[in-house]
Amino acid sequence: MPRRDVELCSGNYYHLYNRGVNKQCIFFAPENYAFFLRRLRKYFTPDTVEIIAYCLLPNHYHLLIYLKGDDLADIMQSFSMSYAKAINERYGRTGHLFQGRFKGKLVDRDKYLLHLSRYIHLNPVMAELVQKPETWEYSSYLEYVGLRHGTLPHPEVVFSVLGTQLKTPGDSESAGVFGRAYQEFVESYCEHDLRVIRHLLLED
């Protein structure tokens, strides 16, 4: 197996991505998205990986994570195999579900976390699946803007970066303030903003 271009080390943030083989779907029904998230909770334990933001689309997914251990490759292999096996059994499929192993990019600056989370949450809009990110339920955006309470994403680090820009204290009492500010930040996006994080996006 070829060596990874990016070394996966604890104490770092990463943008992870994978998609279906031949760009085919990896999610076929709403319950598949829910099952995928349950698998994430099983394999991404609090002492190994924190999910900062995520977005699941019909034929691919994005994860922004903070790595606490050095075994991400093994975790992702077990997670991916578990999900693919279940989907193949459910739909009578054979063969690979994902297009090879997952891809990853090191996120090594705080400002990149903020801009990358916005890119991830806007993926359904960019793919013309919805007009607004809050109408796509298979992402962490709803937690970020206070429209849903979940335990999977950890937006605090992104809010901390946002708070630095806004000069707002990063305490829990300001969560509503950050949610509104984050929504405004997402809605202010323009294509020119991609220049900040283009090197973190995963090209084919």
Size of the chain, expressed as the number of residues it contains: 204
pLDDT at 112: 94
Phi–psi pair at 201, nearest 5 degrees: -90, 150
For residue 47, give the DSSP letter.
T
**Euclidean distance between CA atoms 168 and 157, whole angstroms:** 14
Distance CA 73, CA 85 (A): 18
pLDDT truncated to tens, each residue of the chain (204 aa)?
A: 445 567 899 999 999 999 999 999 999 999 999 999 999 999 999 899 999 999 999 999 999 999 998 889 999 999 999 999 999 999 999 999 999 999 999 999 998 999 999 999 999 999 999 999 999 999 999 999 999 988 889 999 999 998 876 555 444 445 678 889 999 999 999 888 888 899 998 765
Name the CATH topology of 12-200: Alpha-Beta Plaits (3.30.70)
Chain position carrying tokens 């093994």: 74
pTM comes to 0.91
**What is the C-alpha to C-alpha distance for residues 66 and 97, in angstroms, rounded to an integer?**
25
Q: How many Å from the N-terminal Cα to the C-terminal Cα in the chain?
A: 19
* Closest to 93 measured CA to CA, from 168, 22, 175, 7: 22
Phi, psi dihedrals of residue 75, rounded to the nearest 5°: -60, -45
Q: What angle do CA 140, 185, 136 make, to 5 degrees?
A: 30
In this structure, are residues 57 and 123 in contact, taking their beta carbons and an 8 Å threshold? Answer: yes
The pLDDT of residue 173 is 47
DSSP letter (8 states) at residue 21: G
Residue 69 CB neighbour total at 10 angstroms: 15
Cα–Cα distance for residue pair 6/11, rounded to 1 Å = 14
Q: Assess contact for 153 and 53: CB atoms under 8 A.
A: yes
d(CA 142, CA 7): 31
Nearest alpha carbon to residue 204 among 19, 1, 9: 19
Longest dimension (CA), the chain: 54
**Residue 176: its pLDDT value, please?**
73
